[in-house]
């Protein structure tokens, strides 16, 4: 029984991390497992923040944005071999800079800074926000010499800008957070579309590949992402009268992270050609 469990873990979880040349990074088993863990983690994080009196309001939402950039940048530093994929610690090989471990690492850094700023600064959210951007910018510097695919990178932003214009001039008036949720999901769709269609990249995720196969190409991922975001914002609006404002803001933040983080990673990989 133990051999079966060990073999199962190796096949579906460890081998995709260790042997990227032989295994796809994601399969149905680890995708579902990571999704379940993410849902549980989101719930526990919300409870943790409430316990320590941290309200997930609009100001907190914007203060977290630079840390999303930080996580994506660190992930690309590993893609570019600037950060080692594996790190040996007391004879054990860890993989802190690849997905999903990189999210744990960045979460730990974010929480440490969050509680530090809250303890020592009156305007802690502003300090926390600025510290995040400082870390993100410093982390980005080693990647700058690699930047070369500016046309494809600009195409991603052009598509995202088109989304923003649609939202801005839409008769359906939205809050800034609602626009950000849709823009984050749209940016992820745009990065995947441009990277796969024009950049020579392939989709790594199970769901993305299923969408490609069903609808005949990466364009479908872009459209579905945009429609999904609109539906989510609509549903959150319907729940606004029942749920607390901080609950709506927190769910919006999670949706922004799940869109912006992979989208930024893909866009930066494309820009750096790694």
| pLDDT, tens digit, 9 for 90 and up, residues 150-196 | 999 999 989 988 888 887 787 878 888 998 999 999 899 899 989 98
Of 146, 165, 185, the residue at which a domain comes to its end is: 146
In a shared domain, residues 123 and 199: no
Total domains present in the chain: 3
Of 122, 146, 170, the residue at which a domain comes to its end is: 146
pLDDT at 1: 58
pLDDT at 110: 94
pLDDT tens-digit map of 210-223: 777 777 778 888 88
Nearest C-alpha neighbor of 27 from the set 41, 9, 40: 9
What is d(CA 89, CA 238) in angstroms, rounded to the nearest whole number? 49
In a shared domain, residues 133 and 172: no
Over 70: is that where the pLDDT of 272 sits? yes
Q: Which two structure tokens, joined as six digits, stand for 95?
A: 């993989």
In a shared domain, residues 142 and 162: no
pLDDT at 63: 94
Nearest C-alpha neighbor of 249 from the set 35, 96, 55: 55
What is d(CA 274, CA 269) in angstroms, rounded to the nearest whole number? 5
What is d(CA 189, CA 27) in angstroms, rounded to the nearest whole number? 20
Nearest C-alpha neighbor of 136 from the set 59, 58, 61, 75: 75
Q: Which residue has the higher pLDDT, 210 or 138?
A: 138
pLDDT at 140: 97
In a shared domain, residues 173 and 84: no
Of 96, 129, 146, the residue at which a domain comes to its end is: 146
What is d(CA 228, CA 172) in angstroms, rounded to the nearest whole number? 16
pLDDT tens-digit map of 17-75: 666 666 776 777 777 787 788 778 888 888 888 888 888 888 999 999 999 999 999 99
In a shared domain, residues 137 and 45: no
In a shared domain, residues 221 and 273: yes
pTM of the model: 0.89
In a shared domain, residues 260 and 179: yes
In a shared domain, residues 99 and 165: no
What is d(CA 222, CA 217) in angstroms, rounded to the nearest whole number? 10
Range of the domain at 83: 55-146
In a shared domain, residues 61 and 139: yes
In a shared domain, residues 18 and 76: no
């Amino acid at each position: 029984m133990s051999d079966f469990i060990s073999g199962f873990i190796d096949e579906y979880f460890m081998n995709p991390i260790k042997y990227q040349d032989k295994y796809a990074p994601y399969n149905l088993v680890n995708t579902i497992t990571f999704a379940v863990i993410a849902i549980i983690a989101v719930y526990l994080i919300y409870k943790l923040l409430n316990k320590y009196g941290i309200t997930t309001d609009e100001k907190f939402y914007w203060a977290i944005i630079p840390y999303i950039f930080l996580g994506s940048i660190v992930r690309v530093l590993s893609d570019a071999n600037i950060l080692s994929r594996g790190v040996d610690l007391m004879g054990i090989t860890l993989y802190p800079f690849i997905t999903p471990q990189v999210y744990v690492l960045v979460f730990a850094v974010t929480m440490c800074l969050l509680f530090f700023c809250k303890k020592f600064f009156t305007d802690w959210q502003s300090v926390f926000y600025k510290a995040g951007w400082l870390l993100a910018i410093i982390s980005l510097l080693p990647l700058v010499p690699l930047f070369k695919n500016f046309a494809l990178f600009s195409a991603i932003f052009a598509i995202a800008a088109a989304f923003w214009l649609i939202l801005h001039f839409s008769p359906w008036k939205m809050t800034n957070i609602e626009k950000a949720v849709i823009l984050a999901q749209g940016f992820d769709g745009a990065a995947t579309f441009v990277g796969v269609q024009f950049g020579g990249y392939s989709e790594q995720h199970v769901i993305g590949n299923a969408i490609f196969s069903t609808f005949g190409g990466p364009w479908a991922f872009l459209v579905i992402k945009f429609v999904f975001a609109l539906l989510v914002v609509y549903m959150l609006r319907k729940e606004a009268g029942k749920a607390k404002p901080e609950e709506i803001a927190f769910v919006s933040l999670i949706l922004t992270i799940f869109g912006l983080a992979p989208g930024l990673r893909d866009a930066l990989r494309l820009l750096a050609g790694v």
